[in-house]
Structure 1
Amino acid sequence: MTGTDSVLVERRDRIQVITINRPEARNALDGATSRAIAAAVDELDGDDELRVGVLTGAGGTFCSGMDLKAFLRGDSPGIPGRGFGGITETPPRKPMIAAVEGWALAGGFELMLACDLAVAAEASRFGVPEVKRGLVAGGGAAFLLARRIPLAPALEFLLTGEPVTARRAYDLGLVNRITVDGGALDGAMELAAAIAANGPLAVAATKQIAVAQADWTLAEGWERQREIYAPVFASEDAREGAAAFAERRPAVWKGR
């Protein structure tokens, strides 16, 4: 276990677990906490032994957003060029899974939105209440939510500020899996292990294509994706994957 007092970082085999550890503040983020998350994500992307990240919160809450007391002292949780928590504007290159217990609220919802996948406990709740305070969800929700779910429910989220249940978030496609209360991290680890078992070059390229395609026209998409996946097909890992299949054995990935 490494990290700081407010962010715990743990390696479990090839999976990195990042835990926001401010339960006394419902895991609200101040500047130091955001910087610690950003440092952990840099470690995830920079370490070839790590394949997947899981982001969660201690004490039964995912994240309640910005620490308003810190904000009033002039301490912002936004990192220039990286956004809230260091990931809303520049998510990690490798897959990141949110493991949500309790509230994912305001900036906490936007942290979840910055993750690629989400596993949520049955009693968890999601919301962007900024309009109730005369504010705008500028950490990504107002801008990105309608790219993830249909416009009408996205506007309901954003314009009413009312929270929704995990089941409703699942039905809308914001959550991949629902677990019993207290089981979100275990569920996220199960999902992470399934991803980590695959070829790391293939996983990274597949995520890059799936995310980037929103900005491509159909005509240019074929060539743009080919530029990304061609090196994967020429890699040692691609040959190993084919050999492992033919020999009916687990693949031994080298990441090259």
Structure 2
Amino acid sequence: MTVAQGQVAVERDNAVMVITIDRPAVRNAIDYDTAQALSAAFDELDASPSLSAAVITGSNGMFSAGMDLKAFAAGGRLPRSERGFAGIVWKPPRTPLIAAVEGFAVGGGFEIVLACDLVVAARDAVFGLPEVQRGQCASGGGLLRLPRRIPYHRAMELILTGERLGAEAAEHLGLVTRLAPPGGALAEARRLAERIAANGPLAVAASKRVVVESQDWSSTEAFDRQEAIVDPVRSSADAREGALAFSEKRAPIWRGE
């Protein structure tokens, strides 16, 4: 089922949501209405226990050129919500999110990618933070997240020069999870999302939460804080079902309980 929300299309396919930025006339640049629609889609994603994974992509062979500067210059509001730029960069969804990148993901488009958990890119895709070339800073998460995703000096070079990074080089640096042939990023991202969704939903959600939140935990508190998150999963009906299904050599039937 696909539902249009202004300039964003939202599709539910079993336990996977696919969110498509659909503004091809402006290379899927983000204006205020698009940011609000994306934010609403992520709210829906997090509020739906039947959804275990999601994919975000762009229409017409282009991920996103970032902020719609023409719309903003014409008096438009900043393209953000309470979740930040594009309805994501300050507060990404709790549900695992995969970026499926075709064409360009530059500026704010790259910052959307950096807010995702996994990245599938076509081999001819291109990433970049060109803000300094325009006298601006990549303040939508680019400065904060890129040095945590790839080696520090390589991140600094990309940030301070504004140069572009090809998908194969990004994969070599560990920024891209999987490469796909041109035109194949969404299909590959769907397959990856389906593999995630086949697992216990409580375990998937808790695992992502620990990985994300533990970045600022001290070593003395890390295991205690992790235990508070994973112990309810360990004692869940899904955990018992997983063990039973393993012993009976069958696929588990998850209930999210």
Q: TM-score, normalised by structure 2?
A: 0.98
Q: Per-residue deviation at 1:74?
A: 3.1
Indicate if the aligned counterparts of 1:60 and 1:101 stay in contact, CA closer than 8 A. yes
Unaligned runs of 5+ in 1: none
Q: What RMSD over aligned residues (CA atoms) do the two structures have, in Å?
A: 0.8
The match for 2:246 is 245
The alignment status of 1:105 with 2:106, answered yes or no, reads yes
Q: Per-residue deviation at 1:191?
A: 0.4
Percent identity, aligned pairs only, is 53
Q: Per-residue deviation at 1:157?
A: 1.1
- Distance in 1 (CA, whole Å) between partners of 2:203 and 2:70 is 43
Indicate if the aligned counterparts of 1:3 and 1:40 stay in contact, CA closer than 8 A. no
Out of 78, 81, 89, the residue aligned to residue 80 of structure 2 is 78
Q: Per-residue deviation at 1:12?
A: 1.3
CA deviations 1:89-125 (Å, max 9, x no partner) are 1010010000000000000000000010000001100
Indicate if the aligned counterparts of 2:32 and 2:76 stay in contact, CA closer than 8 A. no
Residues 125-136 of structure 1 mapped to structure 2, 5 A cutoff = 125-136=126-137
1:77 maps to a residue whose letter is P
The match for 2:90 is 89
The alignment status of 1:209 with 2:210, answered yes or no, reads yes
- Distance in 1 (CA, whole Å) between partners of 2:121 and 2:46 is 24
Residues 1-256 of structure 1 mapped to structure 2, 5 A cutoff = 1-72=2-73, 73-80=75-82, 82-256=83-257
Unaligned runs of 5+ in 2: none
Q: Per-residue deviation at 1:4?
A: 2.0
1:74 maps to a residue whose letter is G
2:59 maps to a residue whose letter is A
Q: Secondary structure at the match of 1:193?
A: helix
CA deviations 1:196-223 (Å, max 9, x no partner) are 0000000000000111111011111111
- Distance in 1 (CA, whole Å) between partners of 2:123 and 2:146 is 22
Indicate if the aligned counterparts of 1:18 and 1:54 stay in contact, CA closer than 8 A. yes
CA deviations 1:114-160 (Å, max 9, x no partner) are 01000000110000000000000000001121112111011011001
1:22 maps to a residue whose letter is R
Q: Secondary structure at the match of 1:10?
A: strand
Q: TM-score, normalised by structure 1?
A: 0.98
2:105 maps to a residue whose letter is A
Q: Secondary structure at the match of 2:183?
A: coil
Indicate if the aligned counterparts of 2:6 and 2:37 stay in contact, CA closer than 8 A. no
- Distance in 1 (CA, whole Å) between partners of 2:138 and 2:81 is 16
- Distance in 1 (CA, whole Å) between partners of 2:67 and 2:210 is 31
Indicate if the aligned counterparts of 1:22 and 1:58 stay in contact, CA closer than 8 A. yes
Q: Provide runs of 4+ in structure 1 moved above 6 Å.
A: none
Q: Secondary structure at the match of 1:213?
A: helix
Q: Per-residue deviation at 1:243?
A: 0.4
1:78 maps to a residue whose letter is R
- Distance in 2 (CA, whole Å) between partners of 1:182 and 1:104 is 15
Indicate if the aligned counterparts of 2:6 and 2:33 stay in contact, CA closer than 8 A. no
